[in-house]
């Protein structure tokens, strides 16, 4: 029995749409819930352009670089804005993570040049910082199955198929073995709950440039055909495959379309 606020007739008629800038994504399936009701002002991204449309014109900046933070660093420079030390460190971490310490096929000369500039601002050695970061961040000890799968997970609409692909960087792929059964069960449930045809988990060893792939769902052949492998107990080794964006998503897309 208390008045907590008022809504005017004008507000109901006109509506007040949230104004948003999409960073590092542009697909509806990867955006926050209700994105179709928002006013999209701008996109800053380095991924493919998918099922994206807006009511009005917008600033759209997408560059074929290894990390969106490379684009953001360029925007700082273009606008003549100094990058604070702590922000430089965060952006450097993002570039190192996305480019897998400059080893990923997505990494460009621009990514590395910007990363080294950010490292200088942050007062760190990029290579040492990157190795320390991966060592600290890739341990799976104490993490739940849900935390492991969702730490870097994206859903993709490819043709008529819906695919969930997660990637985890780790220096201890063998240590994942005890968690495999529980993880596959979680991925099967994910497929049922979200209507996925396939759920994929990539365990990527950055240093040795290889990935172990785990597959659940009703269409494991998408992955088998994409990489010309035979899954054994839902698992296969993918030597040289370390980039979801440049190696995994395009290969699975071709397999599904074929």
Q: What is the pLDDT of residue 103?
A: 87
CATH superfamily of 145-257: DHHA2 domain (3.10.310.20)
Residues near 251 by beta carbon (within 8 Å), at least 6 away in sequence: 226, 227
pLDDT of residue 202: 95
pLDDT for res 11: 74
Which pLDDT does position 104 carry in this prediction? 87
Question: Nearest 5°: CA angle at 248, between 223 and 246?
Answer: 160
Q: DSSP secondary-structure letter at 177?
A: G
Note the pLDDT of residue 137: 74
Task: Please measure the distance between the N-terminal and C-terminal CA atoms of the chain and give it in whole angstroms.
Answer: 62
Domain ranges of the chain: 9-62, 68-137, 145-257
For residue 15, what pLDDT is reported? 67
Cα angle 249, 252, 256; round to 5: 135
Each of the 258 residues of the chain gets a pLDDT tens digit; together they read 999 998 888 877 776 778 899 999 988 888 888 888 888 899 999 988 877 777 788 899 999 999 999 999 999 999 999 999 999 999 999 999 999 899 888 899 999 999 999 999 999 999 999 988 887 777 777 889 999 999 899 999 998 999 999 999 887 777 788 999 999 999 999 999 999 999 999 999 877 889 999 999 999 999 999 999 999 999 999 999 988 988 999 999 999 999
**CATH class belonging to 68-137:** alpha beta
Alpha-carbon span 153 to 139, nearest angstrom:
17
Q: What pLDDT does 183 receive?
A: 96
- pLDDT in the model for residue 224: 96
pTM: 0.66
pLDDT for res 8: 85
Model pLDDT, residue 32: 87
Positive/negative CA dihedral, 49, 203, 226, 32: negative
DSSP category for residue 232: B
Q: Residue 140's pLDDT is what? A: 79
For CA atoms 143, 213, 165, 115, give the dihedral sign: positive
How far is 183 from 168, CA to CA, in rounded Å?
Answer: 13
**Separation CA 258–CA 248 (nearest Å):** 15
| Residue-level pLDDT at 57 | 87
């Amino acid at each position: 029995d208390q008045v907590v606020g008022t809504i005017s007739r004008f507000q109901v008629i006109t509506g007040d749409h949230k104004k948003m800038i999409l960073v590092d994504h542009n697909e509806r399936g990867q955006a926050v819930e209700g994105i179709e009701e928002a006013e999209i002002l701008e996109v800053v991204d380095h991924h493919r352009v998918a099922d994206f449309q807006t009511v009005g014109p917008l600033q759209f900046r997408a560059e074929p670089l290894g990390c969106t933070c490379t684009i953001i660093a360029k925007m700082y420079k273009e606008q003549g804005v100094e990058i604070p030390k702590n922000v430089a460190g965060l952006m450097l971490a993002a570039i190192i993570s996305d480019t897998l310490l400059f080893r990923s096929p997505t990494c460009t000369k621009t990514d590395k040049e910007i990363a080294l500039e950010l490292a200088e601002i942050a007062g760190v050695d990029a290579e040492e910082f990157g190795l320390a970061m991966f060592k600290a961040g890739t341990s799976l000890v104490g993490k739940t199955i849900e935390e492991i799968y969702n730490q870097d997970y994206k859903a993709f609409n490819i043709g008529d198929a819906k695919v969930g692909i997660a990637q985890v960087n780790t220096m201890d792929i063998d240590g994942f073995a005890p968690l495999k059964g529980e993880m596959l069960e979680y991925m099967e449930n994910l497929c049922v709950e979200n209507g996925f045809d396939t759920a994929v988990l990539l365990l990527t060893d950055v240093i040795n440039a290889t990935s172990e792939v785990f597959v659940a769902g009703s269409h494991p052949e998408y992955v088998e055909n994409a990489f010309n492998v035979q899954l054994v107990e839902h698992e296969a080794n993918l030597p040289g495959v370390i980039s979801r964006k440049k190696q995994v998503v395009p290969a699975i897309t071709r397999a599904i379309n074929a």
